[in-house]
Chain A
Amino acid sequence: MKPKIAFFDFAGCEGDQLQVANLEEKLLDILSHVEVVSFREVMTGHSDDYDIAFVEGSITRPEDEARIKDIRSKAKYLVALGACATIGGVNCIKNFMSPDVYKERVYGTSGRWYSTYAARPLKKVVKVDAELHGCPIDRSEFARVVKELLLGRQPWIPDYPVCVECKKAGNICRYDLGRICLGTITRAGCGACCVTEGAHCWGCRGVAPKANLDAAREAMNKNGFDHKTVRDLLRFFLGDTYAPL
């Protein structure tokens, strides 16, 4: 029997699910090996009987916890999809403000009606079996991870920093251009695509287990980046991550 897979989302932009839809022909290929029982974004119909649950988005409200726990209890395997789900991502920017302030900013006097709490990644609420990093996730990494899951293997995710891939891609280091970059501490797997495309790394794939924080701090200090610049960058995706730079 084909394994049944389902997609769910919490607070996010649905960009990661869109990346899955964007696999085009490869998706049709994957679909011949699995049965999609729930993918609200592209199909009608839903079933509670699934083996692998892919979950996008952060937990941002107390009510969300019941729903993710329910999904967890039904899934044999739960995969977090994208930065919002794996590390909290952009949603955590608001964690540094008082809820009263951001609610009033956006909803005025009716702000108090809205239930919300500090945004957090899935793993703070339920057990997560595998994580697909990135904002958005990388299409080919998704295809590879699904393949490995179907073969019954724990998917391999790089544990070294983006700099490794960046050097391989032949980019000029942003620090040599007088710019800041988080590739020094961020988990690889994206091929340093943001540097290649003219930007810098924002850290969307979370902190690499093998990152050398001291060396990263040193590079920032030596190049004269002040506390505020570094803080801004760390509060892009890494608001929920402990990364003392």
Chain B
Amino acid sequence: MAKVEKAKTEAAPTPLPAKGKKINVHYLTRVEGHGNIVAEIDAGGKVSVCRWEVPEAPRFFEAMLIGRNYQDVHHITSRICGICSIGHQLSSLQATEDAFGVQISEQTLLLRKLAIHAENLQSHFLHVGYLALPDFMGAASVLPLAASHKEEVLAVVACHRTANRMSDMICGRTIHPQRMVPGGFAKLPTDDDLKNLKAMLEAIVPKAKAILDVVVDVAGNIPKFHRQTEYVALVSDAEYPLYWGEIGSSKTQRRPNQLYKDVTREYCLPQSTAKWTKGVDDSYMVGALSRFNLNHDKLSHLGKEAARKLGLKAPCHNPFMITAAQLVECFHSVEDSLRIIDILLARGIRNETPAPIKTFACKGVGAVEVPRGILFHAYEYDENGRIANADCVIPTNQNHANIQRDLDALLPTLATLSEADIELKLSMLVRAYDPCISCSTHHIDLTGDSNKLVKFIRK
């Protein structure tokens, strides 16, 4: 395999120009959605401006849901985000089923776990292979790498394609899938589908290992930057939870999903915030690194091995390592999927119909781990099964404040670099979070109106 050249990101310090340095990244590339980085270092080398800006084109999903029938809701929320559409559907279905007290079958639970693995694999391979790796290898995109590192790029393509096929087989389609409904599945995969899937997953293990080797090779180019923060993810005593769990935090106790507002602190209601947020900072991180930090001991064997090779140890406070944690999760997801498929094959897919639902006025909350972190959907239904109130809290919105805090801490350490190198490092940091800004439901302001951390620009 071709040895990867060291990227030329560590350029020699350039003398400060008398007028200082200005960084203005308008519409950061290789992320989903739009975001800007604005930074200024004055002639004396002091940071005068450091801002993570999120331009908003709100789409008003929570309002759009009002009055909609419970059977349509997850198909609408799916359209919040193309990459996380399976996760949005699952969180949405969970909220609806929680509201109406629907008990799903074990087979449905296992298939949904496969669905979330498929999405995780699909998104992580896309981010690690197509979006982040070029940064570590000093390329502008995966396109030039396709010429210089053909074998590795083909491995990425193969893994990504398998993840997409897995979504198709379980959910019907990769983006905005059709099979999942409240209470179960409208169409089930066959035993033969699962056997094919098993063979496909087994076949990508060596390919994923080839990608791992490349990342291990360039790991030296991953910037060493540490800033401790609060890590929030689903936790469970039983497994490395993606589909099901309680809200865990590195700084405070576990909470049931129904208390999600105490974590997100979107509304400063004294009765809900007082008990839980004490001693917790003004920003927290969600996503692969948070999950790794809280649940690493529950990773599968291959996942643990990948973490060891990458030098990823919990607790890890380097946000640039999010990419490494995603790759670790890829191995876990492949191995855990194979385990689930074996369980399903051992008993054979049963021809189940979705659990029946009786509607009444009620409330419910759903929480799943999507590729970028914990995703909450909370609904209130009227007695006809139509939405009266909806709230969707998206991972990237939870990360915005943490991105800003990281930029604040990182920028002063870069003051001696050239503008181009500063821009690259800051962009890499934001890109490591794999932000998905197109998911415009509403933004979370952790600090309240008086002292905004992140600038949401209305342009």
Residues of A within 8 A of B (CB): 9-19, 21-22, 24-25, 28, 31, 36, 40-46, 60-61, 63-64, 89-91, 93-94, 97, 101-103, 105-107, 110, 113-116, 135-136, 193-194, 197-199, 202, 232, 236
In the complex, B30 has a CB within 8 A of chain A: yes
Chain A residue at smallest Cβ distance from B83: A18
Say yes or no: B131 contacts A42, CB within 8 Å.
yes
Cβ-defined contact, B32 with A41, below 8 A: yes
Q: Measured between C-beta atoms, what is the minimum distance from A200 to chain B in Å? A: 9
Q: With the chains together, A101 CA to B64 CA distance in Å? A: 11
A17 → chain B closest CB, angstroms: 8
Select which of B72, B142, B174, B185 is within 8 A of A198 by beta carbon: B185
Q: Across the interface, do B130 and A21 meet the contact criterion of CB distance under 8 Å? A: yes
Q: A106 to B441, alpha carbons, bound, how many Å?
A: 8
**A15-B82, A44-B30 known; A10+B57 contact, CB < 8 A:** yes
- Interface contact B82-A199, CB-CB below 8 Å: no
Interface SS majority for chain B: loop
| Beta-carbon contact of B81 and A13 below 8 Å | yes
Query: 25 interchain pairs (CB within 8 A)?
Result: A9-B438, A11-B57, A14-B81, A15-B79, A15-B175, A24-B157, A43-B140, A43-B142, A43-B143, A44-B29, A44-B141, A45-B140, A45-B141, A94-B59, A102-B63, A105-B60, A106-B61, A110-B449, A114-B58, A115-B458, A135-B79, A136-B175, A198-B178, A199-B179, A232-B72
Residues of A within 8 A of B85 (CB): 13, 15
Smallest CB gap from B174: residue in A: A22
Partner of B27 from the list A16, A40, A89 (CB cut-off 8 Å) is: A40
B29 near A12 with CB under 8 A, answer: no
Give chain A residues whose Cβ lies under 8 Å from the Cβ of B141.
42-45
Q: Are B79 and A13 in contact (CB under 8 A)?
A: yes
Number of interface residues of B (CB under 8 A): 60
For the A-B complex with A106-B441, A135-B79, A236-B76 known, give 19 more contacts whose Cβ atoms are closer than 8 Å.
Answer: A10-B57, A13-B80, A13-B85, A14-B33, A14-B438, A15-B81, A15-B85, A25-B161, A28-B157, A40-B30, A41-B30, A43-B142, A91-B59, A93-B64, A103-B60, A105-B62, A106-B62, A193-B172, A197-B178
Contact of B175 (CB < 8 Å), options: A19, A24, A64, A110: A19
Asked if residues A60 and B57 are in contact (CB atoms below 8 Å), the reply is yes
A22 touches B68 (CB 8 A): no
A115 to B80, CA, bound (A): 19
Whether A36 and B143, one on each chain, are in contact in the complex, defined by CB atoms closer than 8 angstroms, is yes
Partner of A28, one of B33, B62, B146, B185: B146
* Chain A proximity of B196: nearest CB distance (Å): 17
Q: Are A105 and B63 in contact (CB under 8 A)?
A: yes
Distance from A244 Cβ to chain B, minimum over Cβ atoms (Å): 21
- Docked Cα-Cα span, A102 to B440, in Å, equals 14
**B187 at the A/B interface (Cβ < 8 Å)?**
yes
* Chain B residues within 8 Å of A193, by CB: 172-173, 178
Q: How far is the CA of A194 from the CA of B62 in the complex (A)?
A: 25
- Closest beta carbon of chain A to B315's beta carbon, Å: 32
B179 touches A232 (CB 8 A): no
Q: Please state if A194 and B32 are interface contacts (CB–CB under 8 Å).
A: no
Could you say which residues of chain B place their CB within 8 Å of the CB of A14?
A: 32-33, 81-83, 438
A106:B63 contact, CB within 8 angstroms: yes
Q: Are A107 and B82 in contact (CB under 8 A)?
A: no
Q: Is the CB of B60 within 8 A of A199?
A: no
Q: Are A42 and B173 in contact (CB under 8 A)?
A: no
User: What is the minimal beta-carbon distance from B137 to any residue of chain A, in angstroms?
Assistant: 13
Max chain A C-beta neighbours (<10 A), residue from B68, B141, B176:
B176
